[in-house]
């Protein structure tokens, strides 16, 4: 008669314990369920138990604590750990506590549990067989057992996870030392650390490169622990192999990226220092430049003195023959013919038209031979930077390099910044020259654009307007003075107040069918554009049917850019006259500029309103009260401003050499 085996199921969850017992119950096997460690120890003391199946956590203890008590009191009673929450650390601790089997409650766990329990109960009791029976075939990490009594430490056991990790089957691994996993990149120091721990019969953890059967390298975390017999002698070594390739690779990627970032930071610091020095030098050179030629020369010299540039030149297109030639150059020769721009499809044309920097490889230049004749040294790439300020275009700035990779985004950004600085400097020079140049270009425009406020005012009010001057307000508004031919200044004021763009209207004087009116505007449209180009407004006339505007610029100013922009931007504005002439040696503009620099805004306004209001005529058509009221100040304050202005005006007359 076959004796029925007795299995004790210990689980705090009664439903789960019943499920486990049902999975193990057979005619030859008797199962019993308990919910606590103390009850299990009592049951082991009362009756012979062939196997204990225990869940990881109990109400009064844990499976590992119960296993320790069982080994201390009841010796080699088979003990199977069954859990759904297992991990590598739990598996390692279970083996260290001499567990018989480890089964995870996943997938076909019932079949695996029945097999593990049967093997634990029926196992041969010789030491090697017992260790094999207790090995964790279910463990998620590779497990090996080596015979410590043999100097070669041959393997006597390897689990399924080891086979899956290394690609070597058990038949090959048995009887061999684990060193067959090592290869060219296996760290000698880590190998020496394991050897020293084995010789000292102590535990060790290390990480090293190992190789699969197919020669593929993986990173292995190896944990080795000695197993001792009842007398304390080490009989075996248990090894745990965990694939940490993903983690090591991630760490190496992070280290490599950190090194790259450090190099990038160092390179960026170098770039920033270079940019800072270059822009400071450029700013100093351009501030000191007093002519357009000196601005252009400074730009070319500055760039060529800095790597990686071999040549630089500045040029402005000739409107007459549609060509361009260097007006300043460094690192090259400008003795050849101008570059023909009539084709309209080259990078120089594109930079001027689009206002965007063009970076072109030498092989792609349609006018390659012209550029090569210009540059002393061979070059690979050219950056063509437009020079402009607001809407005014001043040509291009070209910089050449012999290494195409040198013109990266950062370098192009530097060139763009230099181009903007040069454009601003040229604009400032051209604006200053407007007041002092001897060679003058006069432009006359016919204006039928109803967006121009003076056209709308003349049409709406049915009057004729003549420009008398202008001044800037503190709030960035512009005050424009016009004389108007009208007998009804109130109607003019009312009509002008409804015109878009006009913020305020003030009739300063009115007599004999004419009046002086100030129009305060936020955006003067066409007039603002003309001023932005450095044009000096000489005359504006407007009637209900037509209007004209006349301006002056230096002869070498960007007159064509101004005309092109005005005609493109404003409908019904057309250039009707283009004249060049010489300005007299003694200029009214110089005198006015000198005087206005000495007058405050209030003094200038008081003087202008007194003059245009005929305050200096006799009999006076306008009183001091009227003028003070037009400025919104007291009469005494107005006369203080006026007297101060008169003193400066008379002093300028008598004190001038």
- What are the tens digits of pLDDT across the range 227-269? 988 888 999 999 999 999 998 888 888 888 888 887 777 766 6
* C-alpha closest to that of 119 among 99, 134, 138, 139: 134
In this predicted structure, the answer to whether residue 197 has a pLDDT above a threshold of 90 is: yes
Q: Measuring CA to CA, how many Å separate 263 from each of 254, 258, 269, 413, 414?
A: 14, 9, 10, 21, 21
* C-alpha closest to that of 94 among 108, 82, 109, 77: 82
In this predicted structure, the answer to whether residue 34 has a pLDDT above a threshold of 90 is: yes
Q: How far apart are CA 592 and CA 583, in angstroms?
A: 15
> Residues 150-165: what's their mean pLDDT?
90
Which of 93-107, 208-222, 434-448 comes out lowest in average pLDDT? 434-448
Tokens 């279970």, located at residue = 94
| Helix, strand, coil percentages in the chain from 3-state DSSP, rounded to 5 | 45, 25, 30
> Residues 328-352: what's their mean pLDDT?
83
In this predicted structure, the answer to whether residue 210 has a pLDDT above a threshold of 90 is: yes
- For 654, the token pair is 């008598």
- The torsion angles phi and psi of 258, rounded to 5 degrees, stand at -60, -40
The residue extents of the domains of the chain are 1-138, 141-243, 274-434, 437-582, 584-657
3-class SS of residue 463: coil
3-class SS of residue 202: coil
In this predicted structure, the answer to whether residue 652 has a pLDDT above a threshold of 60 is: yes
Enter the DSSP assignment of 501.
T
pLDDT band at 474 (very low <50, low <70, confident <90, very high): low
What digits encode the pLDDT tens for the residues 402-415?
888 888 888 888 88
Q: How far apart are CA 576 and CA 562, in angstroms?
A: 14
What digits encode the pLDDT tens for the residues 514-558?
888 888 888 778 888 887 777 888 899 999 888 999 998 876 566
In this predicted structure, the answer to whether residue 131 has a pLDDT above a threshold of 50 is: no
In this predicted structure, the answer to whether residue 108 has a pLDDT above a threshold of 50 is: yes
Q: How far apart are CA 284 and CA 418, in angstroms?
A: 12
CATH code, 274-434: 3.30.450.40
Query: 476's torsion region: left (phi>0), alpha (psi -120 to 50) or beta?
Result: left
Residue-level pLDDT at 127: 46
What digits encode the pLDDT tens for the residues 570-587?
888 888 888 877 655 555
- For 508, the token pair is 């300063």
* C-alpha closest to that of 396 among 460, 343, 318: 318
* C-alpha closest to that of 279 among 434, 425, 149, 180: 425
Number of other residues whose CB lies within 10 A of the CB of residue 402: 16
Which of 7-21, 265-279, 280-294 comes out lowest in average pLDDT? 265-279
Tokens 């349609």, located at residue = 366
Q: What would the 3-class secondary structure string for 303-365 be?
A: HHCCCCEEEEEEECCECCCCEECEEEEECECCCCCCEECCCCCCHHHHHHHHCCCEEEEHHHC
Residue-level pLDDT at 579: 81
Q: Which is more confidently placed, 644 or 228?
A: 228
- Say which CATH topology domain 1-138 has: Rossmann fold (3.40.50)
6 - beta bridge partners?
Answer: 30
In this predicted structure, the answer to whether residue 26 has a pLDDT above a threshold of 60 is: yes
Question: Please, which residues have CB within 8 angstroms of residue 222's CB and are 6 or more apart in sequence?
Answer: 194, 204, 205, 206, 207, 208, 239, 240, 241
The listed CATH number (3.40.50.2300, 3.40.190.10, 3.30.450.20, 1.20.1440.230) that belongs to domain 141-243: 3.30.450.20
- For 289, the token pair is 């430049």
| One fold for 1-138 and 274-434 | no
3-class SS of residue 373: helix
Q: Of the spans 126-130, 285-289, 495-499, 556-560, which averages the highest pLDDT?
A: 495-499
Pairing status of strand 381-389 against strand 358-361: antiparallel
CATH code, 584-657: 1.10.10.10
Q: Measuring CA to CA, how many Å separate 243 from each of 142, 258, 465?
A: 9, 25, 91
> Residues 287-310: what's their mean pLDDT?
84
* C-alpha closest to that of 528 among 579, 477, 493, 574: 477
Pairing status of strand 51-54 against strand 79-83: parallel
Determine contact, residues 103/116, Cβ cutoff 8 Å.
yes
- For 503, the token pair is 């913020």
Number of other residues whose CB lies within 10 A of the CB of residue 116: 25
Rounded to 10 deg, the angle between the 588-596 and 635-655 helix axes is: 130
Residue-level pLDDT at 583: 59
Determine contact, residues 375/331, Cβ cutoff 8 Å.
yes
Residue-level pLDDT at 533: 79
Residue-level pLDDT at 211: 95
In this predicted structure, the answer to whether residue 417 has a pLDDT above a threshold of 60 is: yes
- For 439, the token pair is 């060679």
| Positions of E strands within 529-599 | 536-542, 547-554, 573-582
Determine contact, residues 158/169, Cβ cutoff 8 Å.
no
Question: Please, which residues have CB within 8 angstroms of residue 205's CB and are 6 or more apart in sequence?
Answer: 221, 222, 223, 224
What digits encode the pLDDT tens for the residues 589-621?
666 777 777 788 888 888 888 887 778 777 777
Which of 128-142, 188-202, 391-405 comes out lowest in average pLDDT? 128-142
């Amino acid at each position: 008669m076959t004796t029925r085996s007795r299995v004790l199921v210990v689980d705090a969850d009664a439903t789960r314990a019943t499920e486990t017992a049902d999975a193990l119950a057979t005619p030859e096997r008797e199962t019993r369920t308990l919910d606590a460690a103390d009850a299990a120890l009592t049951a082991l003391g009362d009756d012979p138990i062939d196997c204990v199946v225990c869940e990881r956590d109990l109400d009064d203890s844990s499976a590992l604590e119960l296993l320790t008590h069982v080994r201390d009191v009841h010796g080699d009673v088979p003990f199977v750990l069954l859990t759904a929450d297992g991990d590598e650390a739990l598996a390692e601790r279970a083996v260290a506590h001499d567990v018989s089997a480890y089964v995870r409650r996943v997938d076909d766990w019932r079949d695996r549990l029945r097999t593990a329990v049967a093997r634990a109960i029926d196992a041969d009791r010789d030491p090697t067989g017992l260790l094999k029976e207790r090995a964790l075939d279910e463990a998620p990490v590779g497990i090996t057992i080596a015979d410590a009594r043999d100097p070669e430490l041959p393997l006597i056991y390897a689990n399924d996870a080891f086979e899956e990790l290394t690609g070597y089957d058990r038949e090959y691994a048995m009887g061999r030392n684990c060193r067959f996993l090592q290869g060219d990149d296996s760290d000698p120091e880590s190998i020496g650390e394991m050897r020293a721990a084995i010789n000292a019969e102590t535990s060790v953890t290390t990480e090293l490169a190992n190789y699969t059967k197919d020669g593929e390298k993986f990173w292995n975390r190896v944990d080795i622990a000695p197993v001792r017999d009842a007398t304390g002698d080490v009989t075996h070594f248990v090894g745990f192999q965990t694939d940490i390739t993903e983690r090591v690779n991630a760490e190496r990627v992070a280290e490599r990226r950190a090194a790259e970032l450090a190099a990038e930071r160092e390179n960026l610091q170098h770039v920033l220092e270079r940019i800072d020095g270059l822009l400071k030098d450029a700013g100093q050179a351009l501030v000191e430049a007093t002519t357009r030629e000196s601005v252009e020369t400074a730009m070319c010299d500055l760039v060529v003195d800095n790597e990686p540039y071999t040549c630089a030149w500045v040029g402005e297109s000739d409107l007459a023959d549609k060509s361009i030639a260097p007006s300043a150059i460094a690192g090259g020769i400008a003795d050849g013919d101008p570059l023909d721009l009539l084709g309209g499809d080259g990078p120089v044309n594109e930079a001027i038209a689009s206002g965007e920097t063009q970076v072109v490889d030498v092989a792609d230049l349609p006018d390659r031979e012209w550029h090569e004749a210009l540059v002393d040294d061979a070059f690979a790439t050219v950056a063509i930077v437009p020079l402009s300020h607001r809407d005014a275009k001043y040509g291009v700035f070209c910089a050449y390099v012999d290494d195409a990779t040198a013109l990266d985004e950062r370098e192009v950004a530097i060139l763009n910044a230099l181009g903007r600085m040069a454009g601003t400097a040229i604009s400032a020079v051209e604006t200053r020259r407007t007041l002092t140049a001897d060679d003058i270009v006069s432009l006359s425009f016919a204006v039928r654009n109803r967006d121009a406020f003076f056209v709308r005012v003349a049409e709406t009010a049915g009057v004729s307007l003549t420009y008398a001057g202008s001044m800037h307000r503190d709030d960035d508004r512009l005050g424009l003075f016009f004389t108007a031919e009208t007998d009804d200044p109130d109607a003019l004021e009312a009509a002008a107040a409804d015109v878009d763009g006009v913020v305020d209207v003030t009739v300063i004087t009115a007599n004999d069918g004419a009046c002086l009116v100030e129009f305060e505007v936020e955006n003067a449209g066409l007039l603002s554009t003309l001023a932005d180009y450095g044009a000096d407004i000489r005359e504006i006339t407007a009637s209900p049917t037509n209007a004209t505007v006349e301006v002056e610029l230096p002869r070498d100013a960007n007159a064509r850019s101004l005309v092109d922009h005005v005609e493109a931007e404003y409908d019904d504005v057309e250039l009707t006259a283009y004249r060049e002439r010489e300005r007299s040696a003694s200029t009214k503009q110089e005198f006015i500029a000198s005087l206005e620099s000495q007058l405050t805004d209030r003094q200038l306004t008081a003087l202008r309103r007194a003059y245009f209001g005929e305050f200096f005529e006799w009999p006076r058509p306008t009183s001091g009260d009227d003028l003070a009221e037009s400025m919104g100040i007291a009469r005494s304050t107005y006369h203080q401003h006026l007297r101060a202005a008169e003193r400066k005006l008379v002093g300028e007359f008598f004190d001038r050499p």
